[in-house]
Structure 1
């Protein structure tokens, strides 16, 4: 992974300095780092397990999107884009890196090294930009609900945004990886290693990290906070427009009024008879069915928006936990040339990056009932067919 690239480069610089002082220390991992066979076997098993989880989990998301037409909405296209980038991390980046981490030597040639670097940086950056795009899409769904629903069928716009994510992700690191050596006229990468030429340039890393993590994280935090404030404002407006003012006494405490409003909101989502009964308790005229229906719709939309905010918060928190340690340590280690942070802590941060690609597929079914139904249809087709007759019988 790209964090490994940084660790290798910084350790290599440190080893060169030690070699100039007469030291024969090395920064290689694997057998050259003193790992015994049991540790190597454990590392290989863990990485193979991680590859399997990433590939199978994200492949399931892609397959669900392909087989279930109900998922083909504009908002879900961005989740598909994220699944594609995570899938390629497990299908290409980690398998190519596996021999390198176990042996401590790059044995696949300079051409494949460049390709791996471009893909690794591209996929990691695309994942970050996809998180921003998903957050922005959720922001529009809550703050501009009417126009957002009208654009749900415009797949061309979604595809254009998906393509823009990949183009911007490539432009951030791709040209530097491919052209840095030609521009500077020299290479600092030994034949048996593979890392980016620019990794010793701290000001480039700081600028790239700002565009790759800090700015996206602030954007996502802004969108998430705006969603929360919008939902809070709409909830207060719903409380003011409800039938509560007709029954509240002048001396009733504020907490009791808010509790009554919450009970009314929940009762409006129950069965029709119970909803009508609650409407009578609120002294609503019998002829105002449309008003009760409108209030019920508003309440259901509030609940749906709350679910959107919660699902987005989960994805954002996982993103922050997995990416923030790596980004901060990368900048710190680059500034002090790898001498102020333990190498083992840095190893933990790049494992967190890989875990992010493995966790994302499990967030979809937990946060989206549509994905949960699609997964059930794929994994348990017999259960789907046996439930169908009973459903029809109950409907009859």
Structure 2
């Protein structure tokens, strides 16, 4: 808009007037593009955060400490999109604030407060994730303490207001200066570098460092647990391998006994035949399967022979007389 005013002051120069028309068209095109883009962003922010808030209201199972912090973040972002950005669209397009000084200060205060609260909500969510990973017992004990959770959320809003709110509302009274036009809506401290530096440290640098610290601690804790789990798996695998060394080993289809079992055999005691295979190669496993099949086939043959002998004996003992009554051997039972 300053560029347009400068061209308006050039007067009756024809070339300057043509250049003024080009610059004016470019400025209007940029304003239209920014308006459309801002409107699209508003729609996405409002719809997305509305879904989160509605899900929290409908499903009672979501009402725990961690999800309350997510709800607080969704509320902050919803207000930023629905009020802060929405009111800034006509102001950006026209370059003039037409709602008065009082509403201007309220809008600026609300804008700074909600954006700062959004940043601190992310810090609170990161802290909650830190507790869930590094201090799981404490985190579990805090899940159902809704009063403490609500207190944390309220403190975020209070602190966010204190960073910028009093300065926005009282800057002109404290300093006694007003360097902005009536149709402009800007905070009075924007030209005071030391205040901007301090406030930016509180609403940007402090949240950034806090989020980085908590997430770094979470990452290091995950690496530490992964290393412990890997070491535990290796030690457990080594113990299982050590247990595989038994009193008997099978090598090339030959059963080898240890000296302890030989001593037991000399003492006429029956050892427990617990066979172990040291080698995990496919050939050794295949040999063991063949040996088991041969043992099973041998047992089946012995059982079949015993059954055949028993059947033959019973057939020789059983004699039928002409009347059909069975007689057993020489005892004449039933004859």
Question: So what's the TM-score if we normalise by structure 1?
Answer: 0.54
Looking at secondary structure, tell me which structure has more helix per residue: 1
Show the counterpart of 1:177: 168
Name the structure 1 match of 2:211: 220
1:203/1:32 CA distance change after superposition, 3 Å: farther
Deviation at 1:153, TM superposition (A): 1.1
Structure 1 counterpart of 2:95 = 104
What TM-score, normalized to structure 2? 0.63
SS in 1 for 2:105: helix
Which digits, 9 at most, give the CA deviation of each residue in 1:60-93, with x for residues without a partner? 1100111111211101111110100100011111
SS at match of 1:194: coil
1:50 CA drift (Å): 1.1
Shift of residue 102 of structure 1? Answer: 0.6
Deviations 1:216-262, CA, capped at 9 Å, x for gaps = 1111111111001111112222223332232579xxxxxxxxxxxxx
Count of aligned pairs: 229
**2:192 aligned residue (201, 205, 208):** 201
Q: Structure 1 residues 37 and 212 mapped into 2: Cα distance closer, same or farther (>3 Å)? A: closer
Residues 32 and 103 of structure 1 are in contact (CA less than 8 Å); yes or no, is this contact kept in structure 2? no
Q: Partner of 1:142 in structure 2? A: 133
Structure of greater Rg: 2
Aligned counterparts, 1:362-377, within 5 A: none
Specify which of 140, 152, 172 is matched with residue 143 of structure 2: 152
Deviations 1:132-181 (A, max 9, x none): 11111111111100121122111111111000100000000000000110
Query: Does the 8 A contact of 1:180 with 1:198 survive in 2?
Result: yes
Consecutive unaligned residues of structure 1, counting only runs of 5 or more, are 1-10, 25-30, 250-396
Q: Are 2:32 and 1:41 aligned?
A: yes
Match of 2:181, SS? coil
Q: CA deviation at 1:39?
A: 3.9
| Cross-structure match for 1:245 | 238
2:259 aligned partner: none
The DSSP-based 3-state class of the residue aligned with 1:108 is coil
The reply to whether residue 233 of structure 1 matches residue 220 of structure 2 is no
**Whole-angstrom distance in 2 between the partners of 1:180 and 1:43:** 30
Q: How far did 1:41 drift? A: 3.4
- How well do the aligned residues superpose, as a CA RMSD in angstroms? 2.8
Using the alignment, how far apart are the partners of 2:33 and 2:72 within structure 1? 32
Mark the CA change 1:70 to 1:37 in structure 2 (over 3 Å): closer, same or farther.
same
Show the counterpart of 1:120: 111
Structure 2's unaligned 5+ residue stretches are 12-21, 243-335
